[in-house]
Amino acid sequence: MAVKPAVYGQSDRPPRGDYSRGGEVNADYTCAQNYAAYTAADHDTYRRLYERQSALLPDRACGEFINALPKLGASDEIPRFEAINERLFKAAGWQLTGVPGLIPELPFFTLLSNRKFPVTDWIRSPAELDYIVEPDIFHDLFGHVPLLFDPGYADHIQAYGQGAVKAHALERGSTPLRGAVEMISRLYWYTIEFGLMQQSKDSSQIRAFGAGILSSPGELVYSVQNAPHRSPLRSVPDLLRCMSSHYKIDSYQQQYFVIDSFEALMTLTEPDFTPFYQALAGTIRSACRTPEFDHGD
């Protein structure tokens, strides 16, 4: 069946990607990876992106990511989702599923809650090596998938999906909790996409774990070495500040949030968010709501 593409944020620009595919996109926006469609130039683009980005990781990416990256498999060509899935399911009970591009919030959150990670199956053009607005296969695979092999972090992503599905329901309930999805989307943005971690008590040991940073050469260097505004994310007041913070989708972030460890993030975000939404209700203004969006470099 044909599905309607998502329209995100305040942009009228339709999302990139073929959402029709002759009716081969499912109602939940998933689709098969069309591996035969990749050209030699596509594979070469992936190889070049992988090579450049992996060279930047030492002293900038968190140790958990560096250790997990080889589990992604081939670096000289676009990997097959089914090959990654064999290893990923054994390691953490997760599966990748192809999607034609950005998908709407509820199907996105629902997939996460079911331990399925949506991966855009097209790759940017060679002219977009340094900058792409929307997530492509390189962002989704390189940025997100290695840490899904970490069972604890993988559990956190599922819990996030479940929390976001609940936020979606609260926003549409009999007494709507306005802004709940926006608030939890901001948490996604500032952690899963653009999160930093302090890897030791030495404050110079700031490392990236967010996929938007890890897949972007410029922002990886900027966020770890030069960013002027980095705030801790270790207490409930920090969490409320994070969920109150607007974010940018088309430039480097104006602020970053720094966690102490994945375990600390999971403990902090474990409680029911409903009281947090209630506390922050009224502070939400119209803003981009984009649960899955890479701003590239």
Q: Which of 232, 243, 247 is nearest to 273 (CA)?
A: 243
Region of 32-40, 102-110, 174-182, 209-217 interacting with Fe ion (CB under 5 A): 209-217
Report, in Å, the least distance between residue 283 CB and Fe ion: 25
User: Is the distance from CB of 128 to CB of 134 less than 8 angstroms?
Assistant: no
Closest CB to Fe ion among 192 and 243?
A: 192
Report, in Å, the least distance between residue 60 CB and Fe ion: 18
Binding footprint of Fe ion, residue count (CB under 5 A): 2
Q: Which of 181, 214, 11, 24 is nearest to 102 (CA)?
A: 11
- What are 24's two structure tokens? 């081969």
Site residues for Fe ion, 17-76, by CB under 5 A, read none
In terms of DSSP bridges, do strands 230-232 and 116-120 run parallel, antiparallel, or are they unpaired?
Answer: unpaired
The neighbour count for residue 34, using CB atoms within 10 Å, is 14
Three state DSSP letters for 174-190: CCCCCCHHHHHHHHHHH
Closest CB to Fe ion among 5 and 135?
A: 135
Closest CB to Fe ion among 157 and 211?
A: 211
Site residues for Fe ion, 107-146, by CB under 5 A, read 135
Identify the three-state secondary structure at position 61. Answer: strand
Closest CB to Fe ion among 135 and 163?
A: 135
Closest CB to Fe ion among 139 and 207?
A: 139
Report, in Å, the least distance between residue 210 CB and Fe ion: 8
- What are 118's two structure tokens? 């949506």
Report, in Å, the least distance between residue 211 CB and Fe ion: 5
Closest CB to Fe ion among 194 and 276?
A: 194
Q: Which of 230, 209, 233, 210 is nearest to 294 (CA)?
A: 210
Is 99 a binder of Fe ion (CB under 5 A)?
no
Q: Which residues pair with 258 in a beta bridge?
A: 196, 232
Report, in Å, the least distance between residue 192 CB and Fe ion: 7
Report, in Å, the least distance between residue 173 CB and Fe ion: 28
Closest CB to Fe ion among 33 and 215?
A: 215
Per-residue contact track with Fe ion, 161 to 200, x per CB under 5 A?
A: ----------------------------------------
Give the Cα separation of 135 and 271 in Å (integer): 30
Report, in Å, the least distance between residue 163 CB and Fe ion: 17
Give the Cα separation of 173 and 260 in Å (integer): 35
Is 211 a binder of Fe ion (CB under 5 A)?
yes
Type of residue numbered 227? A
H or E stretch at 196: strand 196-198
Q: Which residues bind Fe ion (CB under 5 A)?
A: 135, 211
